[in-house]
Amino acid sequence: MHAYSLHSQPAAVKPAPTKYALVPFSVFRPTQSIRAHRGSTVRTKSCDYVFGLPWTFRNGMGHRHDIGILQTPAHCAGQINVSEIGASLPCTLVYKLPRVLISNAIRTRPLGPSHWFKMSAAFRIGSHWRGYAGLKNIVVFGDSYSYVGYHSQAPPPTASKPLGVATPGMPVNEAGHPNWVGHLITSYSHGQSNMLVYDYAVRGDTTPGVARQITDQFLPTVGRRPRWAAWSPHNSLFVTWIGINDCRLLYTNTRNEITSIMATLFGAQEQLYTAGARNFLFIDVPPVHRSPVGSSAGSNDYSSIFVMWNEELRRALAAFAAAHGDATVLLFSSWDTFTRVLDNPAGYGFRPQDLNTMGGSIWFDHIHPTTRFASVIARDIAHFLNSQPVIA
């Protein structure tokens, strides 16, 4: 039985007054991963909780402690107690974890509570995941960030027309150039030249719109797995990127309102699961307050609603992953990608003077990224998917 104390500032690993070791954030590396054994128990005691932040623990001698952590405190750096089943530890919350593998989700720099929502993460790797290279079908739901102009009445995608419409479709960026969906299957498909995309995203849609995309567009057609769209749970990835329009249209800007929206979103995901979907990728909202429309808002508080959305999305994802033991549940952080680019535009080949400029190298208009920016997003998504291991 081991106990670990988390610190917000980097420090050398040193003995604690007890037999346990202090492990600061600085000892973690992005390539580390840890396997959580079936039936192992995570016990935490703290004043509040955040769902879905993976941690890798090492003891004071540098040895890996072979029990995974999926939950951490939100507002205070409370002690995290990890124990084998049967051990008796004071605790206020207990999670029983299935066998999962958490990887590529730990930062090398110290992380405080305000940073936890900015990382891509694997909430669960299920038995139907065959890796990025094993995907043949991608089903997309969302808004204008993912829109290509496809709908359920259009001819189905084929090897010669993988989007179901003439490539690159009608994305909301420069004419004749792809958005992240088009870049993903043309430039970052990792050899999957026959990958087909069923992209039901609709410009301007919010979460209720995504629910309609699922119930009205996907389920009555491709969802039935007809002969002309014979997808399977292991070769198909279901992607949902929504939330920007929801955040901009919130009536109260309260967490309760977002929680209600999440109930709608994951009610629709349950329908996908019932139809046979097992591999899920969710994308959080980017820092819209740093776009031209956000800059014109003139308030630093404009960022808070997007932060809140991403926090609640992680909570909902943790619950969804816990309820579906055979599903793969992944979160790609567009917030992270956008932040890296906007913090260092020149490092990505963009003009620094275009940070808040519509029609520049970064922003196509007031809120949509250019095709070059979309290529960076697609590259990061592909890297994240390719880094997720197959669990035998």
Mean pLDDT for 141-155 is: 97
Region of poorest pLDDT, from 28-37, 125-134, 183-192, 374-383: 28-37
Please report, for the domain that includes residue 166, its CATH number.
3.40.50.1110
- Given pLDDT bands bounded at 50, 70 and 90, which one contains residue 155? very high
pLDDT of 132 > 80? The answer is yes
145 and 29: one domain? no
- Given pLDDT bands bounded at 50, 70 and 90, which one contains residue 158? very high
Cα distances (Å, whole numbers) of residue 126 to 266, 332, 346: 18, 17, 39
87 and 189: one domain? no
174 and 39: one domain? no
- pLDDT, tens digit, 9 for 90 and up, residues 29-39: 222 233 333 33
- What integer pLDDT is reported at residue 88 of this predicted model? 28
pLDDT of 197 > 60? The answer is yes
User: Would residue 118 count as lying in a domain?
Assistant: no
Of the two residues 114 and 45, the one the predictor is more confident about is: 114
191 and 271: one domain? yes
User: Would residue 340 count as lying in a domain?
Assistant: yes
- pLDDT, tens digit, 9 for 90 and up, residues 382-391: 999 999 999 8
Residue 225: which domain range? 132-386
37 and 167: one domain? no
Q: How many domains does the structure of the chain reveal?
A: 2
24 and 60: one domain? yes
93 and 207: one domain? no
Region of poorest pLDDT, from 189-193, 197-201, 346-350: 189-193
67 and 152: one domain? no
DSSP calls for 43-100: EE-SS--EEEEEE--B-TTSPBP---EEEE-SSS-PEEEEE-TT-----SEEEE--SE
- What integer pLDDT is reported at residue 14 of this predicted model? 33
pLDDT of 284 > 80? The answer is yes
- Given pLDDT bands bounded at 50, 70 and 90, which one contains residue 193? low
- What integer pLDDT is reported at residue 337 of this predicted model? 96
| Sign of the torsion angle spanned by Cα atoms 344, 300, 258, 357 | negative
User: Would residue 125 count as lying in a domain?
Assistant: no
User: Would residue 169 count as lying in a domain?
Assistant: yes
User: Would residue 26 count as lying in a domain?
Assistant: yes
Q: What is the pTM of this model?
A: 0.74
User: Would residue 77 count as lying in a domain?
Assistant: yes
212 and 346: one domain? yes
